[in-house]
Structure 1
């Protein structure tokens, strides 16, 4: 007599293994989709259109006459280089008649100030320094009487030079006392001081007023500039390198003037006035001041670009949008391609997990009961 051979079925999959597989699958999909969304969000400023500010400036020379075409072209180059040095790559700068239009990928109001600063760097020996004060100023020869018409810009600059760049010691004392009471005001003389004459001016922080001798060097003798945080100084500094002629001038001056103060002025304001402790013959010097990372970088941009050939006056400021750069467009295409891949993987994963229900075997077949 023969007996039927019982059919052997594979043992059912352990439900714990199936549950673990499903949990890992769901976790993988969540991490994949979440990581993609986070990456898109964090890099949107690179591949997306950029928020910008369109600044329109009127231009005029110190005499009030319109600038020449060559001067406008130089102005455009200086502004472009200045923006690049400040880290605003992709900015658009153009001239239209006697106006200059700059579209900048930023909506920081400080950028307007950094663009329009004349950028006149001078190195002047310090003759005298005193604390600024907030008292009623003594009567100055250049100050118009109340009720009189305000003089034009050119006349005001001339009046400031007469008072603050005098060579007469008694006039210098008067200028020091007068300037000490208005260090918090805008400086009409900014960028227009004569480097061959003494200068009475304030520090950048408005706390000190200086009498400075005529300039020994200018920004034209600087060919390198960089900024960074100095561990030794415990602050942000600007490191500059001189040309060969500037290196010799600085070496000779520091050798002969150890123990004296020297002021680095930017548009008449003293940004740093260090004491010379030793001869500096290497052609490099650190400018220390009350810098932040942004202000140090802005100063580097000014030093690298050079001074403006004439003044700029802001006429209007409007929000704008700069289109994505070529690199940004390529990155945008990559983001879209990766998104399609993530979507495909996610759909396939969901379908797979749906078919592989609880209790199914390794081949997705539910064993018979």
Structure 2
């Protein structure tokens, strides 16, 4: 009874989580082949506009697939299509596909200045940290520098040079504009246009001229698409927006590259009541970070991801070599997990521009889902009929055990789809159907061991404990082999085969749980009942007859001897 109580508590807990947590939907997530999905095409963007190499595309494909696997068996597909990557995810939400295609080029840069983001077209004076105000040039030096560029500065505090700018600008523009227009008219959306946008953004946002930096901070529109987006030069300063678009930062050259990250994980900081991402650096990165934090206490260090500032915490103390550090921000649980997963598996060798999401119809559809479910139901009914014919009323115990296993499997599939993005495809359904047969195998082993004990002359009541002691070793060995096979298949396979291996391994584990917590207690309780001990009920009359014949034959032999 204690085992049955434990199992009942497990089932009640699982279904409480199903109906009272998350979206409270009691249906599992379906894969692309059954419900369709959303497709996003990622177009590679190289700084010089050249065609990306196939090696770089394949490397990007492998990294994105690793990100998918790090998030769980989500049923996503990543395919190389010419010079593009095509990501297809189940459902209608394209945010997952876009996040998987994030370049994830992480740099740690010192913060030289910051201010609130300006509205489009507004002019604001940048506010700098005290440590960086000293090297800023004086106003007379800041005014002429922008006049020599295509984007003249328009500082409100300097009204005197303003009238001179129109007189100088027309003199320069007529001679330069006609020569530049014919050569710089790339087709919008082409690699040449992307390269021109990147170069134009670098001229202002990565300029080493303090006056240009100030002007860029005052005019940068954080609501517009970022042309750099992972193409910034880590050896140059950078003017970057925060990820929420509320702040603009002037950053120094990078001190640590994201390639120096050895591990990343998300966790909930109970003291600060927020989700954070913990980073562990390799030896060189750890030494650099320890040296930086020891000499910059009280200053800010910005974590930039794809040319945007994710977090800019103040260094509050020196970090010892080998210690982990954290990225803080306004993260939700899923955002922190996705960021940690992205950083853990490395940045992409290319930056990509995502296209508009496209709806993909189901390749197999609900008809295939219904066919798979019907096949599973038919298999279950056949197993039950066989058990009822061969084991009589003991077949009812088999039915109760299979029903219990089905309840647990269904609840777990719903919860896995809700919390790790697991999607049930046709291959996964095949794994579940095979799991039904494996669960029935465990019952057959147990019942046959009981028969063996009864053939040796034991009663139904005494044969069950001894039969269980012998059967459980066989059951554990068989399930261990099946689980190892499923684990190897899951590790080596890709795509939908991983879903098959996952459900096969899941049902294998649950088979052991059900046999130990449900089947064995039910059969043991039946052995205590006079009704279940009747040969006409348990179907073991023929076995008892064989035992009597053997006993009589043995007695006859002993008398003759």
Q: TM-score, normalised by structure 2?
A: 0.48
Contact (CA 8 Å) 1:200, 1:211: kept in 2 or not?
yes
Contact (CA 8 Å) 1:176, 1:210: kept in 2 or not?
yes
Is 1:66 the counterpart of 2:51? The answer is: yes
Normalized per residue, the structure richer in helix is 2
**In the aligned structure 1, how far is the partner of 2:114 from the partner of 2:310?**
14
Alpha-carbon RMSD across the aligned residues, in angstroms, is 3.4
Q: What pairs with 1:185-334 in structure 2 (closer than 5 Å)?
A: 185-281=224-320, 282-315=322-355, 317-321=358-362, 324=425, 326-334=427-435
Gaps of 5+ in 2: 1-14, 20-24, 124-145, 153-172, 174-180, 363-422, 440-561
Greater RCO (Cα-Cα under 8 Å, separation 6 or more): 1
In the other structure, the counterpart of 2:216 is 175
**In the aligned structure 2, how far is the partner of 1:107 from the partner of 1:228?**
28
Residue 79 of structure 2 aligns to a residue whose secondary structure is strand
- 1:226–1:166 Cα change, 3 Å: same
**In the aligned structure 1, how far is the partner of 2:252 from the partner of 2:60?**
30
- 1:68–1:45 Cα change, 3 Å: same
Moved more, 81-90 or 238-247: 81-90
**In the aligned structure 1, how far is the partner of 2:28 from the partner of 2:58?**
34
- 1:106–1:248 Cα change, 3 Å: farther
In the other structure, the counterpart of 1:24 is none
Contact (CA 8 Å) 1:121, 1:264: kept in 2 or not?
yes
Normalized per residue, the structure richer in strand is 1
**In the aligned structure 2, how far is the partner of 1:87 from the partner of 1:330?**
17
Aligned match of 2:201 in 156, 160, 163?
Answer: 160
Query: 1:320 Cα shift?
Result: 4.4
In the other structure, the counterpart of 1:45 is 29
Residue 45 of structure 1 aligns to a residue whose secondary structure is coil
Contact (CA 8 Å) 1:88, 1:104: kept in 2 or not?
no
- 1:325–1:239 Cα change, 3 Å: farther
Gaps of 5+ in 1: 1-34, 339-369
Number of equivalenced pairs:
300
In the other structure, the counterpart of 1:92 is 77
**In the aligned structure 2, how far is the partner of 1:190 from the partner of 1:276?**
26
Residue 124 of structure 1 aligns to a residue whose secondary structure is strand
Q: Deviations over 1:83-117 (max 9, x none)?
A: 22344544322223323232323432212321232
**In the aligned structure 1, how far is the partner of 2:245 from the partner of 2:56?**
33
Query: 1:136 Cα shift?
Result: 2.4
- 1:328–1:304 Cα change, 3 Å: farther
Contact (CA 8 Å) 1:165, 1:197: kept in 2 or not?
yes
